[in-house]
C-alpha cells in the first residue's frame, strides 16, 4: 500500500515531464516556423518591390533598322512625318510637292503639288488638336495656313472592295493612295493622308490680307520704337507691288486663335494675331487681325537671320543668325514689344549654328552646331547683379550634349515626351532624353557621305523615321522609362524654367507638355525631417517619464500611470492627423508666440514647483507625500497662464509686434529672433556650467546646512541661472546680429499653417507610448541588487538612476528609441493630413514637407499601372524599406554593444 502514492506521484511527474518536453518541442517548432516565415515575408516584400522597380533601369528598346534604298527625292525636305500605325509617311519639299510613301517598301503612294507656280521660301509646323498645323511662306510675299494630317476610317468586310477579300488579318496593302490594314476578319482600317490649305494671305510691309477678305494694318516703326497696333475688320488695301519674299515664319495655331511671326526680305519682322469669327447662320469663318512690327536691327556683316522661333505662349519671338547670335523680343505686352535680351547660343566664334528646333512645349530651344554639339536653352528668372534680389528673365544653357566632330544636320522632337532625335552630317543618328541627359540609343552609325536630312517620331512615340539621300530609315522604338536615371532620381536636375539645377518631385500637371520631375531627395528629406522633429519632441518626454515612473513613483501610482500612458497608443493615427490638421494647426497659427513661450514657461513651472515643494516643512511633505505626484500637474496650467501673460511682451521685444510678418522678413531685426532661439540653449548651458563649475564647492559648503536653508539656496540658484541664461542669450543675440547673421531663411522662415512643428508635436505624441512602455520595462528589469547596492553606498535616487540603472538598461532604452524611430519613419496619415504635403527641401520648422510613405498613399491610387510614375512610387517604397532596414541593422549592432557592457557590470 505504501507504494501506491509513490507510483501515482511518479506517474504525475512523468506526465509533467512529458508535457514540458512537448511544450518545448512545440514552442521551438512554432518559434522557428514563425521566424523563418517572418524572414520569408519580409524578403518577399523586398523582392516584389525590386521586381516592380527594376524596369526603371532598363535601356530603351530599339528594333532593327529597316532601310529602304529607294530615295523619295534626293533634296532635303522641309518636314517629314508618319502615321500612328507606322505604315506610311510623307515628306514636304520646297517646291510645294507633298509626297506620300510606304514605310516598308518605299513605294510612292501619291505626289501632290500643293501650290501652282509657288516656291516655298519659309515653313513652320505646329502640333495642335486635330493634327499638324502648317504655315508656309512664299516668294511673292504671301503665306498660307493649312494642315497635313492622317485620317483614319474603318470599313466592314462586307463593304470592302473585292480586291481586299483575300487579305489576311494583320497584313496591310496599298489601296489607291491610302494604306489599308485588316485588323479583324470583319473589319479594315484605312489611313489616308489629307492636306488642306487656306487661300494665301499677303504678308508685306503695310498689309496683312486674309483669305476671307479681313486684313489688319502693320504699323511702321523705327528700330528703337514701335507703333501701336491697328485692328481692322472691313475693307481691302492693295498688296505691295514688288515681291517681298517671306524668308522666315513660325506660328501657333488653334481652332480659334492664330499667332505667327514673319520675317520678309526687306528686313521687316512682325507678329500677327488672328481671332476667328464664325457666322452661325452661314458657317463662314473670318479672322480679325492685329499686327505689330518688332524693333529688328540687322547685324553688321552677318546677313539675314537664319532661324525664327515663336514661344509656346506667344510671349517671345526669337531671331537667330548662323553665328549663334540670338535676339529675343518680349511680346507679352502686344502693344509695346521690346528687345528682351541678346544671347550667344554657341559661345565660340569658330562654330556655326546648323539646327534650331523647339522641344515639346515650345519653351526649350535645341541648338545644334557645326561641332555636333546640341545645347538646350530656355528662359528662367536669374539674378543679374546690381540691387540685391533683382531677377530678370534670361535664356540659360541648361543641358549640353557634346558632339563628335560631325555637324548637326537635323533635330526631331517627340510629340509626347522630352526626347529628341539628332541626325548628323556623317549619317549618325542618336536618340536622347533631354531632362535626364540619357542617351537612349545610337540608332545608326556614321555612313560618311549620307547625312541625315530629316527625323520624325511616330505620334505614339513607338517609332522613328529618318530620310537620307539614299532612302528611308525606320525603327520601332520603346523608350520605356527615359526619365528615370540615377542622376535624375537622386541628384540635382536642371528642369525647364528653373534658374539652376534642383531637387524636385512633381509627378503630374494639367498640360500634355509637362516635364515630369521624379527627384526623390525631397521625399527622403521630408521623411528624415518628420522623424527628427518627432523624435526631438517625443524621445525626451518618453525617456524621462519612464525613468520617473520606474525610479521615483511608488508601485501603486505606477500601476495606474503606466496603463494610462499605454492607452495613448490606442488612438488611431488618422484621428491624430485629423486633430492636428483641423484643430491643433489653426490654434497654433493664431497663438504662435504663446505656444513657443510655453516651451519655456511649462518646464520652468515644473522646476519651480519642485523647489517650492522643497521649501515646505519636512513633516508636511512626509505626511502628504501621496499628493506630491498630483501636485506636479499644477505646473501645467501655471506654465500655460504664464505663456499667455508673457506672449505679448515677447512678441513685441523679439518679433517687432507681429511674429508672422517678422518671420516673412517684412519687419523687425535679427536680434530679437536670435534672443528667442538662444534663450532655451542658454538655460541648458547655464545650468550645466554652474553644476560643473560650482557643484563640488556647493556640496562642500552646504554639508552642514539645514534642509530649509538648502531649499532657499536652491531656489535662489534657480533664479540666478535663469537670469544668467537671459543675459547670455542677449549677448549671443547681439553678437550674431552684429556679425550680420539672420535666423530667418534657415531653421525658421515664413509660417505655413500645416508645418513641421505641428507634425513633430502630434507625431511625438504618437510615438511616446511605445517608447515609454519599452523603456519602462527595460528600467524595471534591471536587477534589484544593483539598485540596492547603489542606494546603500550613499547615492541618491537620482544618482542611482543616472549612473547605475540607465547604463544597465541602455540596450533596452536604445531599442525603444529605435522602435519609435521606425514608427515615425513609416507614419503616413499624420504627415499626410498635417504636414501640408509639399515636397520641399528646407529645415524651416514652420513649413511643411512630404514623406515617402505619404507620397505613396497620395499618388499610387492615381498612377497608371506600369508607367514611369507607377514604378517610381514602388522605388520610393523600396528606398523606405532600405532606410528602415539599414537603421534597424545599425541599431541592433549598437544595442548588442550596450547589452554586452551591461553584462559586464
pLDDT band at 239 (very low <50, low <70, confident <90, very high): very low
| Percent of the chain predicted with pLDDT > 70 | 93
Distance, in Å, from the CA atom of 657 to the CA atom of 167, rounded to the nearest integer, reads 85
Distance of CA 821 to the CA centre of its chain: 25
Within 10 angstroms of residue 595's Cβ, the number of other Cβ atoms is: 19
The single residue listed with the C-alpha cell 525664327 is 308
What are the beta bridge partners of residue 376?
A: 366, 399
**pLDDT per position as a tens digit, 128-165:** 776 789 999 998 888 999 999 999 999 998 888 888 88
What one-character-per-residue DSSP string does 752-811 give?
-SS-HHHHHHHHHHHHHHHHHHHHHHHHHTS-HHHHHHHHHTT--HHHHIIIIIHHHTHH
- Reference 737, options 657, 650, 666, 676; nearest CA is 676
- Contact in structure between 322 and 271 (CB atoms under 8 Å): no
Answer yes or no: is pLDDT of 206 > 90.
Answer: no
Which of 183-197, 209-223, 543-557 has maximum average pLDDT?
183-197
The single residue listed with the C-alpha cell 505686352 is 333
| pTM, rounded to two decimals | 0.86
Hey, what's the cell of 284? 463662314
Answer yes or no: is pLDDT of 511 > 80.
Answer: no
pLDDT at 418: 92
Distance, in Å, from the CA atom of 344 to the CA atom of 330, rounded to the nearest integer, reads 17
Q: What is the mean pLDDT of residues 37-53?
A: 91
Answer yes or no: is pLDDT of 365 > 60.
Answer: yes
**Which sign does the torsion angle of CA 560, 561, 564, 569 carry?**
negative
Hey, what's the cell of 575? 484621428
- Reference 97, options 81, 119, 129; nearest CA is 119
What ranges in 398-520 are assigned the alpha helix state H? 486-490
Looking only at the bridges linking them, the beta strands covering 338-344 and 325-330 are antiparallel
CA angle, 195 then 200 then 203, to 5°: 135
Distance, in Å, from the CA atom of 568 to the CA atom of 765, rounded to the nearest integer, reads 8
**pLDDT per position as a tens digit, 576-609:** 888 888 888 999 999 999 998 998 898 888 888 8
- Reference 154, options 176, 187, 130; nearest CA is 187
- Reference 87, options 172, 187, 195, 185; nearest CA is 172
Answer yes or no: is pLDDT of 785 > 90.
Answer: no
Hey, what's the cell of 421? 532625335
Q: Beta strands of 402-437 (E only): which ranges?
A: 408-413, 419-424, 429-433
- Contact in structure between 411 and 455 (CB atoms under 8 Å): yes
Name residues whose C-beta falls within 8 Å of residue 268's C-beta, 6 or more positions apart in sequence. 205, 218, 244, 293, 296
Distance, in Å, from the CA atom of 762 to the CA atom of 587, rounded to the nearest integer, reads 13
Distance, in Å, from the CA atom of 584 to the CA atom of 39, rounded to the nearest integer, reads 40
Could you tell me the end-to-end alpha-carbon distance of the chain, in angstroms, rounded to an integer?
56
Q: What is the mean pLDDT of residues 736-742?
A: 87
- Contact in structure between 325 and 346 (CB atoms under 8 Å): no
Using left for φ > 0, alpha for ψ between -120 and 50, and beta otherwise, residue 385 falls in left
- Contact in structure between 186 and 193 (CB atoms under 8 Å): no
DSSP 8-state secondary structure symbol assigned to residue 57? G
Q: What is the mean pLDDT of residues 550-556?
A: 82
Hey, what's the cell of 413? 522632337
The single residue listed with the C-alpha cell 488612438 is 571
Q: What HEC string does 198-265 produce?
A: CCCEEEECCEEECCCCCECCCCCCCCCCCCCCEEECCCCCCCCCCCCCEEEEEEEECCCEEEEEEEEC
- Contact in structure between 442 and 477 (CB atoms under 8 Å): no
Q: What HEC string does 808-828 produce?
A: HCHHHHHHHHHHHHHHHHCCC
Mean pLDDT of the chain, nearest integer = 85
- Per-residue CA distances from 314 to 167, 250, 331, 334, 413 (Å): 49, 10, 7, 10, 19
pLDDT at 4: 55
Q: What is the CA radius of gyration of the chain?
A: 39
**pLDDT per position as a tens digit, 802-849:** 888 888 888 888 888 988 888 888 888 888 888 888 898 888 999 989
Hey, what's the cell of 117? 507656280
Element (H, E) at 439: strand 438-444
- Contact in structure between 321 and 264 (CB atoms under 8 Å): no
pLDDT at 6: 67
Sheet holding 325-330, edge to edge: 307-310, 316-320, 325-330, 338-344
**pLDDT per position as a tens digit, 435-458:** 999 999 999 887 666 899 999 999
pLDDT at 7: 64
Distance, in Å, from the CA atom of 828 to the CA atom of 822, rounded to the nearest integer, reads 12
**Which sign does the torsion angle of CA 691, 696, 697, 700 carry?**
positive
Amino acid at each position: 500500500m505504501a507504494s501506491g502514492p509513490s507510483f501515482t506521484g511518479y506517474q504525475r511527474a512523468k506526465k509533467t515531464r512529458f508535457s514540458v518536453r512537448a511544450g518545448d518541442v512545440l514552442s521551438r517548432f512554432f518559434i522557428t516556423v514563425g521566424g523563418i516565415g517572418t524572414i520569408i515575408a519580409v524578403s518577399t516584400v523586398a523582392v516584389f518591390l525590386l521586381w516592380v522597380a527594376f524596369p526603371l533601369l532598363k535601356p530603351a528598346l530599339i528594333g532593327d533598322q529597316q532601310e529602304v534604298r529607294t530615295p523619295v527625292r534626293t533634296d532635303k525636305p522641309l518636314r517629314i512625318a508618319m502615321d500612328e500605325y507606322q505604315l506610311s509617311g510623307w515628306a514636304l519639299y520646297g517646291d510645294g510637292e507633298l509626297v506620300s510613301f510606304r514605310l516598308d517598301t518605299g513605294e510612292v503612294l501619291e505626289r501632290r503639288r500643293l501650290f501652282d507656280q509657288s516656291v516655298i521660301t519659309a515653313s513652320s509646323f505646329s502640333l495642335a488638336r486635330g493634327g499638324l498645323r502648317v504655315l508656309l511662306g512664299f516668294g511673292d510675299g504671301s503665306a498660307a495656313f493649312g494642315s497635313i494630317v492622317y485620317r483614319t476610317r474603318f470599313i466592314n468586310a462586307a463593304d470592302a472592295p473585292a480586291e481586299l477579300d483575300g487579305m489576311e488579318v494583320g497584313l496591310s496593302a496599298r489601296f489607291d493612295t491610302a494604306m489599308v490594314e485588316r485588323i479583324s476578319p470583319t473589319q479594315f482600317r484605312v489611313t489616308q493622308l489629307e492636306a488642306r490649305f487656306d487661300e494665301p494671305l499677303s504678308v508685306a510691309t503695310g498689309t496683312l490680307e486674309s483669305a476671307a477678305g479681313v486684313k489688319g494694318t502693320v504699323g511702321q516703326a523705327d528700330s528703337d520704337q514701335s507703333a501701336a497696333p491697328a485692328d481692322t475688320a472691313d475693307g481691302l488695301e492693295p498688296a505691295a507691288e514688288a515681291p517681298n519674299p517671306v524668308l522666315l515664319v513660325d506660328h501657333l495655331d488653334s481652332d480659334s486663335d492664330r499667332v505667327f511671326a514673319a520675317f520678309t526680305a526687306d528686313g521687316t519682322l512682325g507678329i500677327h494675331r488672328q481671332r476667328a469669327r464664325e457666322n452661325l447662320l452661314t458657317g463662314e469663318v473670318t479672322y480679325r487681325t492685329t499686327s505689330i512690327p518688332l524693333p529688328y536691327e540687322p547685324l553688321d556683316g552677318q546677313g539675314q537671320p537664319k532661324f525664327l522661333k515663336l514661344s509656346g505662349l506667344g510671349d517671345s519671338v526669337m531671331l537667330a543668325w548662323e553665328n549663334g547670335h540670338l535676339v529675343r523680343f518680349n511680346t507679352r505686352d502686344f502693344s509695346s514689344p521690346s528687345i528682351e535680351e541678346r544671347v550667344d547660343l554657341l559661345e565660340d566664334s569658330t562654330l556655326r549654328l546648323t539646327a534650331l528646333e523647339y522641344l515639346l512645349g515650345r519653351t526649350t530651344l535645341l541648338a545644334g552646331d557645326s561641332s555636333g554639339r546640341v545645347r538646350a536653352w530656355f528662359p528662367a528668372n536669374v539674378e543679374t547683379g546690381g540691387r540685391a534680389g533683382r531677377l530678370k528673365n534670361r535664356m540659360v544653357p541648361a543641358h549640353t550634349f557634346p558632339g563628335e566632330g560631325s555637324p548637326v544636320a537635323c533635330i526631331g522632337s517627340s510629340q509626347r515626351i522630352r526626347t529628341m532625335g539628332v541626325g548628323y552630317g556623317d549619317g549618325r543618328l542618336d536618340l536622347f532624353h533631354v531632362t535626364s541627359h540619357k542617351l537612349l540609343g545610337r540608332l545608326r552609325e556614321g555612313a560618311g557621305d549620307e547625312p541625315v536630312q530629316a527625323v520624325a517620331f511616330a505620334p505614339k512615340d513607338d517609332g522613328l523615321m529618318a530620310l537620307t539621300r539614299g532612302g528611308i530609315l525606320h525603327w520601332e522604338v520603346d523608350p520605356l522609362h527615359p526619365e528615370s536615371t540615377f542622376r535624375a532620381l537622386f541628384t540635382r536636375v536642371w528642369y525647364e524654367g528653373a534658374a539652376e539645377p534642383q531637387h524636385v518631385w512633381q509627378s503630374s500637371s494639367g498640360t500634355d507638355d509637362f516635364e515630369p520631375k521624379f527627384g526623390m531627395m525631397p521625399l527622403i528629406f521630408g521623411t528624415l525631417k518628420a522623424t527628427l522633429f518627432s523624435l526631438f519632441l517625443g524621445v525626451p518626454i518618453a525617456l524621462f517619464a519612464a525613468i520617473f515612473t520606474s525610479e521615483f513613483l511608488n508601485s501603486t501610482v505606477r500601476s495606474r500611470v503606466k496603463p494610462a500612458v499605454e492607452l495613448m497608443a490606442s488612438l488611431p493615427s488618422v484621428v491624430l492627423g485629423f486633430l492636428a490638421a483641423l484643430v491643433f494647426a489653426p490654434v497654433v497659427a493664431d497663438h504662435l508666440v504663446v505656444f513657443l513661450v510655453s516651451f519655456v514657461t511649462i518646464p520652468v513651472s515644473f522646476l519651480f514647483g519642485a523647489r517650492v515643494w522643497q521649501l515646505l516643512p519636512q513633516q508636511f511633505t512626509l505626511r502628504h507625500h501621496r499628493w506630491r505626484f498630483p501636485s506636479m500637474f499644477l505646473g501645467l496650467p501655471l506654465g500655460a497662464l504664464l505663456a499667455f501673460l508673457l506672449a505679448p511682451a515677447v512678441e513685441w521685444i523679439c518679433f517687432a509686434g507681429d511674429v508672422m510678418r517678422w518671420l516673412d522678413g517684412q519687419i523687425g531685426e535679427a536680434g530679437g529672433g536670435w534672443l528667442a532661439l538662444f534663450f532655451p540653449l542658454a538655460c541648458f548651458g547655464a545650468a550645466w556650467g554652474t553644476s560643473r563649475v560650482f557643484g563640488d564647492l556647493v556640496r562642500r559648503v552646504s554639508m552642514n546646512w539645514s534642509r530649509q536653508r538648502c531649499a532657499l539656496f536652491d531656489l535662489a540658484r534657480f533664479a540666478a541661472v535663469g537670469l544668467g541664461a537671459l543675459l547670455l542669450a542677449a549677448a549671443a543675440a547681439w553678437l550674431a546680429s552684429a556679425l550680420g547673421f539672420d535666423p530667418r531663411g534657415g531653421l525658421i522662415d515664413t509660417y505655413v499653417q500645416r508645418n513641421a512643428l505641428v507634425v513633430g508635436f502630434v507625431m511625438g505624441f504618437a510615438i511616446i507610448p511605445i517608447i515609454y512602455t519599452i523603456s519602462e520595462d527595460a528600467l524595471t528589469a534591471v536587477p534589484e541588487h544593483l539598485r540596492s547596492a547603489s542606494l546603500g553606498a550613499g547615492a541618491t535616487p537620482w544618482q542611482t538612476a543616472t549612473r547605475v540603472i540607465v547604463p544597465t538598461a541602455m540596450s533596452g532604452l536604445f531599442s525603444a528609441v529605435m522602435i519609435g524611430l521606425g514608427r515615425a519613419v513609416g507614419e503616413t496619415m499624420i504627415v499626410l493630413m498635417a504636414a501640408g504635403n509639399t515636397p520641399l527641401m528646407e529645415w524651416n520648422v514652420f513649413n511643411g514637407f512630404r514623406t515617402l510613405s505619404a507620397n505613396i498613399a497620395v499618388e499610387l491610387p492615381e498612377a497608371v499601372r506600369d508607367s514611369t510614375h507607377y514604378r517610381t512610387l514602388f522605388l520610393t517604397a523600396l528606398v523606405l524599406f532600405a532606410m528602415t532596414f539599414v537603421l534597424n541593422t545599425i541599431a541592433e549592432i549598437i544595442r548588442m554593444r550596450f547589452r554586452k557592457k551591461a553584462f559586464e557590470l
